[in-house]
Structure 1
């Protein structure tokens, strides 16, 4: 019996090692499997030059994808400009007019975007100049939180398309707890926030249980639940409890005690309306918590192992079905927190469009962040800046805000095609073994 028990133990250990070995280098962080200058592989033996490692890194691919998208967007802005199209009609007589008009349209659009997203130097006060960056932070909060939920699913091998529906359900629960109850100040906000997170977790747990118990495809189930959530909020907003005055598709305002407090109170800078609220700090805390969960906890190891190789994870004694349910609950809770950023932060009531397109934009944010918590955080900041800057750009120039949607689509396309980005910028392929160039002295000795 002892020999049998020892054999089972050795088999379990071998399965665990197989699960770890099956994970890609970026997942384990050990560099396992990367080629070295000596032709050997293994932990700590990556002898490629630092510049080569940086140029073949995944984060650089994300940055270059954004840069290339902005370049392509510049051409689209020029084509959409009426003056540029007019100058194109007589290009062969005066080609300089076309180039000048295109340059003016692109620079004005991107300068206006920068002013609306980062810093507006045309404002009379310093507070007014810094307000745009706080608006970018406000727009980024739901993107970061929902993007973290999508990223957790990606790391577990789950493609969660249901963040949109999870945000809607979380918003319904958070709004109801916000306006239907009269609780003490801190407790009221805490109950509303937890209610939103639980609502999103329950809605995400449905596809998790269906996949773990019956093998249902999470993509199909989450898409169908998105449609159900859209019709659910339309039905809820017709109920007397959510729309007592029958005045429109809007619920009563949440109580003052259930609203996220502003990080920059209105009386600090009179005349400047800052909307940055406590939700941004919650987004930072969520990114840190997700990082610890994925990189330092036992469930995070099981989650990554199940995502890298489910068969090896089962061999190691892990319950892949349990990991699937836990992953979807975590993803839904984060999407529910994203809903509270809208209901308790900016909108302060429930509306039919409270989720906007945050659930689908979060997929792009997670892809751009390479499913890493801090990468997702900064990707959310970038997309929040694009939203804030795009609105300001449309108000100052003739460039339509649809250009921002095109930029996001191009970023997704480039993220999905790393070889295209590498070929444009002539970067090394990390999949190919590194071969150092022979030194001239070595060639002479060999001769």
Structure 2
């Protein structure tokens, strides 16, 4: 029997109709590591190809071993930065750093989430969820759950963390669209934010927003030149917080000193802002509608959670595992090595599949099913090792509060149209999810 082609796994068009789980399982039957070519595709340049790791144990090994599998050498996205300048730019983000540089910034962030700040954020999240569902139920009994409900909660939470005025929060929606959805024509030039409704800082930043070229293409959002509006906003916000600190996490972070007495540089703050505003938004923004799709696909489970809301906090991890919003992350081999019998050369791309890891039947019994009582649930939705997601706790809190509100205040929910999925081989994104309710 011929070896199944890995090409659909790299093609972002594949994911507009769903994840090819059957193909992943065919590959799993043949081994845990597979070579994937990188041909030129619409919006994607040709690349050198990469080793795709789909086994839970090996994914865990790769993301824990920063000495062998670097986040910094080539960044953490599959496609290579276009230029050396762009590579240097992405290497200044914590997401694309290795220890010890990564460790220093990570400790400063962890120290900024003080017990008092965490308690305040949890209280605000509960209030945001209640008001979002108030608004949802006040209108017609139909909405786009992805944008009208799910998108707003992480934006409001991030605005609280970053100290961004609430009226500016949809700037983060546009920035996330442009970065995560750069391969999707619906998202690549996103401009939902109305500058007339924002602050003076927002208006000044929006004036720098790039325009599409003659072919409708935006500049690469992974290069600093591609996101001048985000960086200008971050710079102005940082200046304002240094002058008048608030009680938000970013104000606490800016006031901190590291172990060697150093403070966060302007560049580090701007890159940290990018990380929170974009990466901190996307996992939950797609995890929430993904969880709703999971429940709509398993109506008995929805009924169970509605009848007993105390089960919702425990169900959150299984809903996230079943959907898995972040599908892949890249590392680059620092030396010649061998992974599960596969020879890997120094400089090779090694891409971990969180989708593959989270459906590994050796770890998850009945791995394709939604089992809200699954214990243990050792999924990799938030990564693992040095780069495990700093916002995992708040993602769980947001999902818990939102589904308590949505399920507790409705009798039934159903699809009102077909979901529309993002064109991406990175984020398992939901662009539209029409629902109706009773």
For normalisation by structure 2, the TM-score amounts to 0.29
Considering fraction of residues, name the structure with more strand: 2
Considering fraction of residues, name the structure with more helix: 1
Decide which structure has the larger Cα Rg and report it.
1
User: Quick one: higher RCO (CA 8 Å, sep 6+), 1 or 2?
Assistant: 1
